[in-house]
Structure 1
């Protein structure tokens, strides 16, 4: 009996050893297979990032330039980039596009900043939860409010200073100035006003009047009427939000001749260059949309590849210049 038990024990031991060897061999093969696949997957990841550019001003010349240069740079970086967005003031659709990009697990989102609480929640909470980097372009929202990695676009404070200096050069060191701004008081607009006031504070004989309105045409016309009625000796207008400029100019023309006034704006609206060519604006801040598109993709891919972490949270400022009617004839 003892001999029989020994033979059974030896047989069972042999079976266990064979099963153990088979299991070890299987695990080794699986590990080797994973090791072979991981570099291929990583290589594919670094050469084919899925990026999206989202704006609430689709099909405008300014954003067409940003989109075209962003696509070109993405191709050179081995990434794919789609341009999504909404038209005009449809903020709900704009926010929905951001939500879709997050749910689609895009590798990176480049977006026109919108200084509202729903936008901040979308970028600061939902995108951050899934680890999707956000870069704002052309319009900024502070990093503390949006958790964006960086901003690419013009410096709004410098833009405000530049337009104020040009106005003083044209108008002189005394007069009455109306600043027309959007009542949403977005971050970029606040910074532009800050830049204007930094310059004008040095000229005590220049009186500044800040009027706010929504961007509905009727509201802009009413606000312009109010300004002309309250300050009949006004010498100059600065439209802080380019979306207000066309209706503002229309009402000034209706009331009197454009010629006596010095009128200034920014270039991020389709009507602006036409108004400048017609001599209805005296100066416009021209930005660099081509550079914005290219640089925003460069910064995003550098972050994704780990080449620059963190990115400069203050942002990367693109060039601006003042242009006048003579420059666009």
Structure 2
């Protein structure tokens, strides 16, 4: 009899133990799971072909900070010295990795457009261009965040007219293979200067290297006297231009203008060797591009403005005047 009583007691204890365990498990299963990134745990990649330059460092750090604020992980990839093949390879890797969104420096080439329009679109990866744009019809990018380069060209040309007056010979130095932003800058410059019949302009293809700029400057100075001013559509050409001018004559008589407030152009501006530059807003570009990408992924900002979101540009003048 005692034996059966022990068995019955054990069965009762086993029953209540099972009931308790089931209740505990039910609580654990139904308990909401907390996540560090509840809604916006997106993986975003910022890709540039000018890594570790002062301008792109500002874009990078503001983009990373915006990612933290939005609960998104922002990785920054890039190539050095404008290496296009490495840059395009990084885009392919990002697309193959199925990241949630790509923020990228626009590159106006067929290879870039193919990657953006077809490969990224096929995988449902949205692309936002930053600082440099590409036509939306050729890339299907969602939007653009950066300067209005046409307006920037107009602003610089108006400053030249204020400084030089309504007559003079102006050399515009442009890359022989121009990106969209360079074409827009050039169009803005010409649309202003062409209104003044006594301002004569000539466009010189100067390439992107210091050697090409020096070669172009030698040809200009040997064949064209009476030049009053120079405009370079890319900041990287400004120091080579001024250095070559300094070998031949004084820099001060010339009106010289450029784009982008890099440390090099800022130094030349402070020295009075450049009369004015266009300053952009790279910090805003980085943060706003991430904000818009997260809003698009969340569905809170649909559609994005296809024409883009323009950031501030302003003219910075030299302290010393001619």
TM-score in same-fold range (> 0.5): yes
- Asked if 1:102 corresponds to 2:104, the answer is no
- Whole-Å separation in 1 of the counterparts to 2:299 and 2:261: 33
- Asked if 1:243 corresponds to 2:236, the answer is yes
Task: Report if aligned partners of 1:60, 1:270 keep a CA contact under 8 Å in 2.
Answer: no
- Asked if 1:264 corresponds to 2:243, the answer is no
- Whole-Å separation in 1 of the counterparts to 2:38 and 2:64: 18
1:165 pairs with 158, 169, 176, which one?
Answer: 158
- In the superposition, relative to structure 1, how do residues 181 and 40 fare at CA in structure 2: closer, same or farther (>3 Å)? farther
| Residue correspondence of structure 1 range 1-329 to structure 2 within 5 A | 46-267=39-260, 269-326=262-319
Residue 89 of structure 1 and its aligned partner are, at CA, apart by 2.3
- Whole-Å separation in 2 of the counterparts to 1:231 and 1:182: 20
Task: Report if aligned partners of 2:261, 2:277 keep a CA contact under 8 Å in 1.
Answer: no
Residue 326 of structure 1 and its aligned partner are, at CA, apart by 2.4
Residue 44 of structure 1 and its aligned partner are, at CA, apart by 5.7
Residue 94 of structure 1 and its aligned partner are, at CA, apart by 0.8
Structure 2: gaps of 5 or more residues: 1-29
Partner of 1:260: helix, strand, or coil?
A: coil
Residue 228 of structure 1 and its aligned partner are, at CA, apart by 2.0
Cα deviations by residue, 1:66-99 (Å, 9 ceiling, x for unpaired):
1111111111001010111011121111111111
List structure 1 segments (4+ residues) > 6 angstroms apart after TM superposition.
Answer: 39-43
- Whole-Å separation in 2 of the counterparts to 1:40 and 1:121: 41
- Whole-Å separation in 2 of the counterparts to 1:46 and 1:270: 40
User: How many aligned positions are there?
Assistant: 291
- Whole-Å separation in 1 of the counterparts to 2:287 and 2:131: 12
Q: TM-score, normalised by structure 2?
A: 0.86
Cα deviations by residue, 1:248-307 (Å, 9 ceiling, x for unpaired):
121111121100001000116452212212221110000011111111111111111111
Q: TM-score, normalised by structure 1?
A: 0.84
Structure 1: gaps of 5 or more residues: 1-35
